[in-house]
Structure 1
Amino acid sequence: MHNIADPTNFVCECNRAFHKETLHPLVSLIDMSAPCVGSQVKTDCYAVVFKHRAADSEKYGRRYYDYSDGTLLFVTPSKKVDLATADGKMLIFHPTLIMYTPLGARLKEFSFFKYRPEESLHISCCEEKVINRCLGCISDELCWGIDEYSKTIICNNIELLLNYCRRFYTRQFITRHNVNVEAIDELDRLIDNYFTSGQAAAHGLPTAGRFAPRLGMSAEYVNDMLKNETGKTVCEYVQLRRIQLAKEFLMASDRSVGDISALLGFSTAGCFATVFKKITGCTPEEYRRN
């Protein structure tokens, strides 16, 4: 791995690794087909890595139902970036660049920065043209030189790029609908087992992070996949599954409402009744009678 000597000046060091002139100390767009010193770097920047028709795209999660014209990876500071890309580009920008900007305020919305490499974005030819156009605008602005407008224009163009990536990820969730349904079926089994085994009583409501490793996914990917398929967050979806289990217990067993409430992790029977009525329109007792 190529070690960066001065982590506070990563952009400049990374440019030197690719024998590239530094046009801005906080952001750079690098042609990764250029000769490079080393094969990996540990960055203190955000990175968007574009691989054009990568031969190793399966390493990044591409399957037969995905596009194959290019692959995009998103990296957060402190993560390693693979530089062994024969044909591609890498946009790096330091967190300082986006501080106190609209992009900085919105960055958490771009949850794909926390996805695993196997959850990368695989794009079509048309989508690739859009990505290259956005990167071209960033490159043009870097070549323009630094003035009072540079930060705003660069950040706006990075935000536009990320907005398009968000759109393309939504499209990828659509083309992966069938496998997503299978993953959600498995998630249902994991959630149901969590509640019926009494874990909710001991640990409370589960988060995406509890189930993500069992699904072979990152917690952020599970959240986004579920939101795209069902319109619900993991928290909302778990709550609905919990109430569905409550219905089944009420109809198929003689357990008391208090016992069901405790098993499903509600703090009190009153809390259970309130949530149950909010979702179903009736109390647990009324549901059992009817």
Structure 2
Amino acid sequence: MSVFIHLQTVNDIVNFFQLDTLIQHPLIAVVDFSQVNESINAETKISSDFYALIFKTYNRNNIKYGRKVIDFQDGSLICMAPNQVLEMDNEIDVSENMMGWGLFFHPDLIRATSLNDKMKGYSFFSYEISESLHLSEKEKQILYDCILKLRAELQENIDLHSQDILVSNIELLLNYCSRFYGRQFITRKHSNNLIVAQVEKILSNYFKRNDINENGLPTVKSVAEQVNLSPGYLSDLLKKETGKNAQDHIHFYLIEEAKNSLLNSNKSVGEIAYSLGFDYPQYFNKLFKQKTGKTPVEFRSMN
């Protein structure tokens, strides 16, 4: 029988990992996994109110994130937003098998800071585990140095500067993660190009078959599922490879189909909008002008 555990406070983190000591702060925790004292039972599902960055190595593959098994053997980093779920597939004897660190910080720590507005830009928090960040030795050390700085600051007495220093170091860590993900996209360029080709084929076939009449506009989520990626990772991959995110690719095929209908049929603009899955023609008009610089009527009259 599976057990679900939700971590709401730093004390919950201490208790869950059975830590002898943890430098206390109400909104942030840095965990040294080599100091964890107790095995984690099989079939345990874990979520939290915290953003979490977890770097761990194991001798076995025994954690699931979503539907994917995590392979931490080579050392990889996962980033979780609040309320995402990790699932333990087999019992972990952490005293022998687990090394690494975890950073947990509550949204309230950054809520009144500029970092709060930047969090949506760190799209890797929405990636699937199969899209985790695989680090070089140099990259591991850079991130660990950030963790050491956070740990050192947590050892200081809380004062007027504590939050600024903690948040700036978290932001530095996240910016390094963005850089390293950028490197990972580059090193996987061949496989990325295959995915770009897959996406183009999926969208091309979708509009050729007129699936839009039955199923409506394709979504980023539906396309991502067909290439076995998360929507966030797919959009970032396409942006890196083509300069356009997943939604832009969908809109490209949509506008091409709209152009064909405008020039090769006598349908009204409203009829074309409905046939393309728009509930309201004004939304179609707005998107068409945004992408082409002309309204549908202007485009039809000029051609």
Q: Name the TM-score, length of structure 1 as normaliser.
A: 0.80
How much does 1:54 deviate? 6.8
SS in structure 1 at match of 2:83: coil
Equivalent in the alignment of 1:65: none
How much does 1:53 deviate? 8.0
Distance in 2 (alpha carbons) for counterparts of 1:94 and 1:73: 17
How much does 1:218 deviate? 0.9
Note the residue ranges of structure 1 that are not aligned, 5 or more in a row: 63-67
Distance in 2 (alpha carbons) for counterparts of 1:126 and 1:274: 47
Distance in 2 (alpha carbons) for counterparts of 1:94 and 1:247: 48
Equivalent in the alignment of 1:72: 77
Superposition CA RMSD, Å: 3.6
Equivalent in the alignment of 1:140: 152
Q: Spell out, residue by residue over 1:210-254, the C-alpha distance to the aligned partner (whole angstroms, 9 max, x if none).
A: 212111111111111111111112222212223445677899xx6
Q: Where do 1:34-183 residues align within 5 Å?
A: 34-39=35-40, 40=44, 41-52=46-57, 56=61, 59-60=69-70, 70-81=75-86, 86-183=98-195
Equivalent in the alignment of 1:193: 205
Distance in 2 (alpha carbons) for counterparts of 1:137 and 1:149: 14
Q: Spell out, residue by residue over 1:7-33, the C-alpha distance to the aligned partner (whole angstroms, 9 max, x if none).
A: 542x11212322223421211111112
How much does 1:189 deviate? 2.1
Residue identity over aligned pairs, in percent, reads 32
Q: Given the superposition, is the C-alpha separation of residues 23 and 275 from structure 1 closer, same or farther in structure 2, using an over 3 Å criterion?
A: closer
Equivalent in the alignment of 2:65: none
Q: Given the superposition, is the C-alpha separation of residues 273 and 99 from structure 1 closer, same or farther in structure 2, using an over 3 Å criterion?
A: closer
Q: Which amino acid aligns with 2:108?
A: T
- Number of corresponding residues: 278
Distance in 1 (alpha carbons) for counterparts of 2:13 and 2:37: 9
Q: Where do 1:245-284 residues align within 5 Å?
A: 245=257, 263-265=275-277, 271=285, 274=289, 277-278=292-293, 283=299
SS in structure 2 at match of 1:74: strand
- Are the counterparts in 2 of residues 127 and 168 from structure 1 also a CA contact under 8 Å? yes
Equivalent in the alignment of 1:240: 252
Q: Name the TM-score, length of structure 2 as normaliser.
A: 0.76
Distance in 2 (alpha carbons) for counterparts of 1:213 and 1:229: 19
- Are the counterparts in 2 of residues 121 and 172 from structure 1 also a CA contact under 8 Å? yes
Q: Which amino acid aligns with 2:248?
A: E
- Are the counterparts in 2 of residues 61 and 120 from structure 1 also a CA contact under 8 Å? no
Equivalent in the alignment of 1:14: 13
SS in structure 2 at match of 1:89: strand
Q: Spell out, residue by residue over 1:168-201, the C-alpha distance to the aligned partner (whole angstroms, 9 max, x if none).
A: 1111111111111111222122212332333434
Name which of structure 1's ranges 210-219 and 34-43 shifts more when overlaid on structure 2: 34-43
Q: Which amino acid aligns with 1:278?
A: G
Q: Given the superposition, is the C-alpha separation of residues 102 and 2 from structure 1 closer, same or farther in structure 2, using an over 3 Å criterion?
A: farther
Q: Which amino acid aligns with 1:241?
A: Y
Distance in 2 (alpha carbons) for counterparts of 1:159 and 1:96: 15
- Are the counterparts in 2 of residues 200 and 263 from structure 1 also a CA contact under 8 Å? yes
SS in structure 1 at match of 2:34: coil
